[in-house]
Amino acid sequence: MAGPETIHQAADGSGTPPALMFIGGFVIAGFAEGTIPLRLVAGGLLRIVELGAACVILGVGASLYLSAIACLRQAHTAVLPGGVATQFVTTGPYRFSRNPAYLGLAIVWCGVAAALNWGWPLLLLPAVLVGQTRFVIQAEERHLREMFGDSYTAYCRRVRRWL
């Protein structure tokens, strides 16, 4: 397995906090739930199964997110948009997703929605992912393409943006 590719990189200046879109979207979903509740399942035994599934989903999402962050930190490169990145990482979860941290956050989102028995977050998640792609990911990808050139373009051909 080859290690991460390295090149000096200036800050990209995007600065949009990725978690802010997820948190903001979930707050909006919470207001919607308070106004017009949209439950996923009824109570009883089904609710116990749903909570178990929520725990599994949360665990997968959190593990993916933390693994992605750990790979960035191990490579001594920026974790947050707008930071100075010294490398783009192609190992760990970055082998199958160009955005495993954001994918992990989306999975956590689904787990929290299931644990709370809220349907609105699941309806609003596609809008959040479109916003994340448009305002964060595309800026990151443009910057990485400028900084790493053909090697980043080849990586993009090999690895999907989400899954």
Q: How many domains does the chain have?
A: 1
One-letter identity of residue 129: L
| Residue 17 CB-density burial (10 A; 0-12 exposed, 13-18 middle, 19+ buried) | middle
**Domain annotation covers residue 22:** no
Task: Walk along the chain (163 residues) and give the pLDDT tens digit of each residue.
Answer: 334 333 223 334 445 577 888 999 999 999 999 999 998 877 666 776 777 788 888 888 889 999 999 999 998 888 877 666 788 899 999 999 999 999 999 999 998 898 888 999 999 999 999 999 998 899 888 888 888 899 999 999 999 999 8
**Domain annotation covers residue 8:** no
**Domain annotation covers residue 34:** no
Going by the DSSP 8-state scheme, the letter that residue 40 receives in this structure is S
Query: Which domain does 125 fall in, by range?
Result: 45-158
**Domain annotation covers residue 32:** no
**Domain annotation covers residue 96:** yes
User: Is 146 in contact with 9 (CB distance < 8 Å)?
Assistant: no
**Domain annotation covers residue 54:** yes
User: What is the model's pLDDT at position 32?
Assistant: 96
**Domain annotation covers residue 23:** no
**Domain annotation covers residue 4:** no
One-letter identity of residue 96: F
User: Is 18 in contact with 102 (CB distance < 8 Å)?
Assistant: yes
